Structure formats: C-alpha cells, structure tokens
Amino acid sequence: MTCAETTLPAGSARSEIGRKATLLMVATLTIMAGTAIAPSLPAIEMTFADVDGVKLLSRMVLTLPALFVAFCAPLIGGLADRYGRLRLLAGSILLYGFSGISGLFVDSLPALLVGRAALGIAIAGIMTLTTALVGDYFTGSERERYLGLQQAFTGIGGVAFVAAGGLLADYHWRAPFAIYAVAFAIIPAVVVFLTEPTRPTLNSQATPSLSDPAVRWLPVVALCALTFLVNLIFYFIPSQVPFYLRAIGITTASSTGFAIGLHNLVMAGSALAYGRLRARLSVPVIFVIGLCLMTLGFVLVAFSTTMPSVLLAMAIAGAGLGLTVPNLMSGIIALASPATRGRLAGMVTASMFIGHFTSPFASQPLIEAIGYQESYLVAGCGLAMLASVNAVIALNRRSKP
C-alpha cells in the first residue's frame, strides 16, 4: 500500500491494515443512512397520515439528510483543508450515531425530520473527510483499487443493513433506527488507527483559494454536474421502489429490503472490478459502461411485475452503479491538489446529495402524472443520454494524438 505524507510509522503493516479497515467501516455509514430505513417509509406514511403533505414528507425522511449534506459538505471540506481531518471526522461519527437513533424516540414527523437533518450534517463530514483521507493516504493504482474496494464494502454493508432494516420494519417501523448505533462502535478504531496527514498546508492560514487558476474548473464542474444527475436518477430506486412494489402487489417490508439489498450486493461485486478496469480503460469509457448498465436496469424495472423480475432489474442497475460511483470519486481526487482536496471532495459530495434530495421532487410529480412504469422509462432515457455524452467525450479523446 502506498501512503502519502502521513504520520503512520513506516513498515507498520498491522497499523496499515487497521487504517484501511477503519476507513472501510466508516464508509459503510454513508450507505446505511438511507437504506436502513427505506423499508419503513410506507409505515411512516401511514403512521403520520393526518399530517398535511405526508406523501412527500414521508419520502423526505429518506432524502432530507441529503439537503444538509449539500449545504455543509463544502464548508466542512474547507475546514478540513485548514485545520485537519480527524477531529472533524470523530465528531461527525458521534453526531451520526445520536441523530440516527433519534428515530427511536421522537413522536412527531417534524421531530423525525429534525433528526434526519442533523444526520445530514454528520454524513457531510463523514463522506467529505473520508474522501480527502483516501487522497492523502493512497496514490496511483493503489488509490483506484481502494476506491473499488470501498464501494464494494459499502455495497456489502448496504445489503446487511437494508435486509436488517426490512426485517426490523416488519416488527415496527421505528426498529430500523436502532441500526445507527453501530457508529459508536467505530469511534475507537478511528482514534487508534487513523493518523492526521502532515502536509504543511493542512494547518496553514495561507490555504490556497479555490480561485487558484491551477484548479481545472471545467472538468470539476462537469464532474459535479454528472454526479448530481446520476444520483438524482439513481435515487428513484430507494425512494420509490418501496411504493412501486406495493403498487404491483408486493406488500411486505422485507421484500423491499431484499430488493434494495440485492442491488447493493451486485454493486459491491461490480465495484471490486473497478481497479482492474480502470487500469485498462479511461474514466469516460467506464462511465459509458456503468451508465448503460444502469439504463438497462431502469428499463427492466419499468416492466417488472413479479419479485424475480424486480430482483433482476435491481441487480443490473446495481452493477452499473458499482462502476459509476468509484469513477466519480477517482475523478475528483485526480483533479484536486493536496491543498484543495477537502474542498473539491466537498463539492462532489454536495452534488451527490443534492441529487438525492431533489430526486423525490422530480420523481413524485412524474409518477403522479404518468405512473411508475413510464417514470422509470423516462429515468432510463436520462441515463442513456448521460452515457451518450460520455461516449462522445471518450471518442473525442481517442481521436486526439
């Protein structure tokens, strides 16, 4: 493993393994944030049926954290570039645990949403800081392999968490919120195994501005736009599949858990191949492959009427997402200098979660207007257009000397 500018003692293999394992455990918290409670959404809607706008608000229980990630991720990234990573990361994990388990106790939908907002602030810290630390700790092909491993690990964690969430939701809709307590068990590993990078700019008051002309703004903005659009469309799955399954007669919460869990499992397997694939193919080509698989998955969702057909569609969509997400993260790390890594990571994190938050505002009116089947077909067309744009970019690069 290649390490960059860290205080970890050279040759400490046990510490290096512990550090990688700790980062992987922290990464699982980001996918757990939504998948663990997705099976509870229909029951939350029924519990608070007397609340005005409950159809939208119940879906925002899943997506509201994304709005606060979008607001806070760039700010936390800037603080990390100036003052350091680890204290912010430990505080974010603690906030994650306390805000996550608040769903066990609150007795109103507004209070539930407040807890989810605090969870969003925590996720902003966790995702931004872990992305920056990956850039600090790893370089070159080792970074690509780690990013694939991280996405695979989050997918496997997502399988466990969403399956557990589905089974717990069959018992009571509040029960899945207990899963967030796992964050408290990760804190000791963060303290023991993660080290603060020793780059001089990290604690300097002269941290370069993002107006620095060395930042390649066109590809940064393009990557953030792609991140937003992919995640807006992808979130048609966790935010609407529970309701789509009910519409086609599959009513158990555990069925939702298994469907989304399979999506995450196949995503994990696909992500494991990312490092090897990236060694042979360019970033735009990998985007084309990932987005085409997602397109096929969404089209199949539109025509699914039985549980086996839903599971097949989830698997194919998950395979595409497993290649697309680490490709997004690899792209932004490659574009960032050490002094701007936290802030650019914050920008792509914000773009990702703005997509999550706005997804119900796009999907719910669309579904009410034209229905579930047609909405998933429209989403598939959007993914196909993104794949086409990346295909043009890839062909343009090949035509140049």
| CA atoms within a 13 Å half-sphere pointing along the CA-CB vector of 189 | 18
Share of the chain above pLDDT 70, in %: 90
3-state secondary structure the chain: CCCCCECCCCCCHHHHHHHHHHHHHHHHHHHHHHHCCHHHHHHHHHHCCCCCCHHHHHHHHHHHHHHHHHHHHHHHHHHHHHHCCHHHHHHHHHHHHHHHHHHHCCCCHHHHHHHHHHHHHHHHHHHHHHHHHHHHHCCHHHHHHHHHHHHHHHHHHHHHHHHHHHHHHHHCCCHHHHHHHHHHHHHHHHHHHCCCECCHHHHCCCCCCCCCCCCCHHHHHHHHHHHHHHHHHHCHHHHHHHHHHHHCCCCCHHHHHHHHHHHHHHHHHHHHCHHHHHHHCCHHHHHHHHHHHHHHHHHHHHCCCCHHHHHHHHHHHHHHHHHHHHHHHHHHHHHCCCCCHHHHHHHHHHHHHHHHHHHHHHHHHHHHHHCHHHHHHHHHHHHHHHHHHHHHHHHHHHHCC
Query: Across residues 352-363, what is the average pLDDT?
Result: 84
Q: Are 230 and 291 in contact (CB under 8 A)?
A: yes
Instruction: Pull the structure tokens for residue 277.
Output: 């694939």
The residue range of the domain holding 336 is: 13-202+213-399
Residue 4 within a domain: no
- Per-residue pLDDT band at 399 (split at 50, 70, 90): low
Name the band, by pLDDT with cuts 50, 70 and 90, for residue 400. low
Exposed/middle/buried for residue 104 (C-beta within 10 Å: 0-12, 13-18, 19+): middle
* Banded model confidence at residue 340, pLDDT cuts 50, 70, 90: confident
| CA–CA gap between residue 232 and residue 376 (Å, rounded) | 12
pLDDT tens figures, 61-112: 877 887 888 889 888 888 887 887 888 999 999 999 999 999 899 888 889 9
pLDDT digits (tens, 9 = 90+) for 154-184: 777 767 777 788 788 888 888 889 889 999 9
Average the pLDDT over 201-217 and give the result: 53
Q: Are 196 and 137 in contact (CB under 8 A)?
A: no
CATH assignment of the domain containing 264: 1.20.1250.20
In a domain, 3, yes or no: no
Q: Quick check: 263 and 318 in contact, CB under 8 A? A: yes
Answer yes or no: is 275 within a domain: yes
Q: Which of 238, 58, 68, 65 shows the shortest CA–CA distance to 165?
A: 238
Q: Does residue 203 register a pLDDT over 60?
A: no
Q: Is residue 162 part of a domain?
A: yes
- In this predicted structure, the answer to whether residue 200 has a pLDDT above a threshold of 70 is no
Q: d(Cα 316, Cα 267) in Å, to the nearest integer? A: 9
pTM (2 d.p.):
0.72
Chain mean pLDDT for the chain: 83
Tens digit of pLDDT for each residue in 223-276?
A: 999 999 999 999 888 778 888 888 888 877 777 778 877 887 888 888 888 888
Tell me: pLDDT of 201 over 50: no
pLDDT of residue 10: 41
In a domain, residue 1? The reply is no
Q: Which residues lie below 8 Å from residue 314, measured CB to CB, with a gap of 6+?
A: 237, 241, 259, 260, 262, 263, 266, 297, 301
Is residue 308 one of the residues assigned to a domain? yes
* Structure-model confidence comparison of residues 171 and 321, the more confident one: 321
Is 296's pLDDT higher than 90? yes
d(C-alpha 328, C-alpha 195), whole Å: 25
User: What is the pLDDT, as a whole number, of residue 59?
Assistant: 76
What is the pLDDT at residue 81?
Answer: 78
- 239: phi then psi, degrees, rounded to nearest 5: -85, -25
Question: Is residue 195 predicted with pLDDT exceeding 50?
Answer: yes
Q: Using CB atoms within 10 A of its CB, is residue 267 exposed (0-12), middle (13-18) or buried (19+)?
A: buried
pLDDT band of 384, cuts 50, 70, 90:
very high
Report pLDDT digits (tens) over 301-318: 999 888 899 999 999 999
Total tally of structural domains belonging to the chain: 1
Q: Which of 155-169, 215-229, 381-395 has the highest mean pLDDT?
A: 381-395
Q: Is residue 92 part of a domain?
A: yes
Whose tokens are 């993002």? That residue is 210
pLDDT per position as a tens digit, 8-19: 444 456 677 888
Is 208 a domain residue? no
Burial 158-195 (b: 16+ CB within 10 A, else e): bbbbbbbbbbbbbeebbbbbbbbebbeebeebbeebbb
